[in-house]
């Protein structure tokens, strides 16, 4: 089921548009007019203009090519409005109102009526009970949320059962030097769910990784198979390890309680899973910027033992292998730094030094290594080995991931220079290790099931 009219519209109708700040019909209108295309406020009981657009009484009165409607009307009238959308040839509708499947028997009945109207009119529904979606690069803000223009454009798509959680992630993106190609809150998933959204954004040129937030779904196998079939890497944040059943059901009408099943299923299908929005963002950053890893073998290079040990500990817990380096690599490393602190894997240079980049390059070129994980505290006098590492990622065609600490003001620019080389940088040892763990799990997607089961202990 293609959802183009929803996520790639030509024009927008805001049904229930309002002149009163604070009302959803006002906030949605304020966001909608940022879009570079026709935007119509629809309200039978209003006249004049709002945001310089003239009110129309009904979606059926619009002549222009409008294919997306934002429904800012109360739940009981939603099915009728969707019917009108169908009649007007509008193929996508975002339904903000709650009071459907998440709100008991009466709500479930209303949702069934809504789905019937949508099916009949050929309307793709986002929601109900959603805060909507946004595509920053298009300035398409199909939402009533505020401050959305602060969310940077980039190459990660966030498909979330909860819009609130997606925003919590998107506002962190700013801080981490990444951005989103789209952010979608699915809400009750009346007829557009994870599968439809994943398939749409898998085919989207701007999207290099797909981040999922899942509270529960009735179509577990379908979801897993969709994730496995994508060309674009997928990471999943699956909430509901503990029993949060009745609160969760009151949210988007979904049943939780299948946590272990999902975790096992995702591992099996090579979809990395994470346990927080920060980890979801961090995994997405590596998966979207690094070359795809060929295997789970990590070469660790560190300039400080303590963070190196913390990283090694965490990588092993996540099922990574730390292979022996080849004799050739060990000789090269010994030549670069005679009598070095620790020259197995991890390689520990003891402290940052001018030769540090050469050591990283030697490990990256090792045929036993699929992924390189580096830790280096920033020292102003040395900076990062950006010059030495230039071109290395393309040459070895392997992920190289940095973790680093240091004074914010000093390292901000140099960090951006490293990231321009397709080397993502994380600000604590463990965040770097978790991002590498996601690469390791992604690398296992083509492995035999028993290999996966053995490696993935978490």
Which positions from 278 through 297 interact with a second copy, judged by CB under 8 A? 278
Query: Which residues between 116 and 135 bind a second copy (CB under 8 A)?
Result: none
Q: Which is nearer to a second copy, 5 or 343 (CB)?
A: 343
Query: Which residues between 137 and 156 bind a second copy (CB under 8 A)?
Result: 145-147, 150
* Interface with a second copy, residue 317, by CB under 8 A: yes
Interface pick for a second copy out of 73, 125, 159, 165 (rule CB under 8 A): 165
Q: What does the chain come to in residues? A: 458
Alpha carbon distance 243, 254 (integer Å): 13
* Interface with a second copy, residue 261, by CB under 8 A: no
Q: Which is nearer to a second copy, 57 or 175 (CB)?
A: 175
> Which residues, 6 or more positions from 178, have their beta carbon under 8 angstroms from its beta carbon?
152, 154, 155, 156, 281, 284, 285, 288
| φ, ψ at 211 (rounded to 5°) | -105, 125
Interface pick for a second copy out of 98, 107, 128, 265 (rule CB under 8 A): 98
Q: Which is nearer to a second copy, 21 or 48 (CB)?
A: 21
Query: Which residues between 195 and 254 bind a second copy (CB under 8 A)?
Result: 213, 215, 239-244, 246-248, 250-252
Alpha carbon distance 294, 311 (integer Å): 21
- 95 with 16: CB under 8 angstroms? no
Closest separation in Å from C-beta 411 to a second copy: 9
Alpha carbon distance 219, 274 (integer Å): 20
Interface pick for a second copy out of 112, 172, 292, 422 (rule CB under 8 A): 172
Window contacting a second copy (CB under 8 A); options: 77-85, 273-281, 383-391, 439-447: 273-281
Window contacting a second copy (CB under 8 A); options: 7-15, 203-211, 272-280, 356-364: 272-280
Interface pick for a second copy out of 119, 120, 335, 342 (rule CB under 8 A): 342
> Which residues, 6 or more positions from 19, have their beta carbon under 8 angstroms from its beta carbon?
26, 46, 50
| DSSP labels, 326-365 | PHHHHHHHHHHSTT-SEESSSEE-SS--TTHHHHHHHHHT
260: how many CB neighbours lie within 10 A of its CB? 10
Query: Which residues between 393 and 422 bind a second copy (CB under 8 A)?
Result: 405-410
């Amino acid at each position: 089921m293609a959802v183009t009219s929803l996520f790639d519209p030509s024009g927008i109708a805001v049904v229930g548009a309002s002149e009163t700040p604070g009302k959803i019909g006002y906030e949605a209108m304020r966001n909608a007019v940022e879009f570079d295309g026709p935007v119509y406020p629809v309200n039978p009981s209003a006249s004049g203009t709002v945001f310089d657009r003239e009110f129309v009484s009904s979606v059926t009165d619009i002549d222009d090519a409008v294919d997306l409607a934002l429904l800012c009307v109360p739940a009981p009238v939603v099915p009728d409005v969707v019917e009108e959308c169908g009649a007007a040839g509008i193929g996508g509708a975002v339904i903000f109102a709650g009071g459907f499947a998440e709100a008991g028997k009466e709500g479930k009945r209303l949702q069934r009526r809504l789905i019937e109207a949508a099916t009949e009119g050929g309307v793709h529904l986002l929601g109900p009970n959603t805060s909507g979606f946004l595509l920053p690069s298009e300035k398409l803000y199909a939402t009533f949320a505020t401050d959305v223009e602060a969310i940077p454009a980039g190459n990660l798509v966030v498909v979330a059962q909860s819009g609130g959680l997606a925003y919590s992630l998107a506002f962190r993106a700013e801080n981490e030097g990444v951005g989103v190609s789209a952010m979608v809150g699915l809400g009750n998933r009346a007829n557009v769910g994870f599968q439809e959204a994943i398939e749409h954004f898998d085919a989207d040129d701007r999207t290099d990784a797909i981040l999922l937030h899942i509270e529960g779904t009735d179509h577990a196998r379908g979801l897993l198979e969709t994730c496995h079939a994508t060309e674009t890497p997928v990471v999943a944040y699956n909430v509901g390890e503990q029993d949060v059943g009745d609160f969760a059901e009151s949210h988007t009408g979904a049943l939780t309680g299948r946590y272990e099943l999902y975790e096992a299923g995702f591992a099996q299908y090579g979809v990395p899973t994470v346990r927080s929005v920060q980890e979801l963002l961090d995994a997405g950053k590596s998966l979207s910027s690094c070359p795809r890893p060929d295997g789970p073998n990590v070469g660790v290079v560190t300039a400080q033992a303590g963070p190196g040990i913390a990283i090694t500990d965490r990588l092993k817990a996540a099922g990574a292998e730390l292979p022996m380096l080849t004799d050739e690599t060990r000789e090269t490393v010994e030549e670069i730094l005679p009598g070095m602190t620790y020259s197995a894997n991890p390689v520990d240079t003891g402290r940052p030094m001018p030769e540090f980049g050469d050591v990283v390059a030697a490990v990256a070129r090792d045929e036993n290594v699929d992924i390189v994980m580096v830790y280096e505290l920033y020292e102003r006098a040395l900076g990062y080995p950006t010059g030495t590492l230039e071109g290395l990622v393309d040459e070895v065609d392997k992920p190289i991931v940095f973790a680093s600490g240091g004074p914010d003001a000093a390292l901000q620019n140099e960090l951006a220079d490293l990231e321009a080389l397709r080397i993502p940088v994380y600000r604590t040892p463990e965040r770097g290790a978790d991002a590498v763990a996601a690469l390791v799990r992604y690398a296992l997607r083509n492995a035999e099931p028993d290999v996966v089961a053995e490696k993935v202990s978490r």
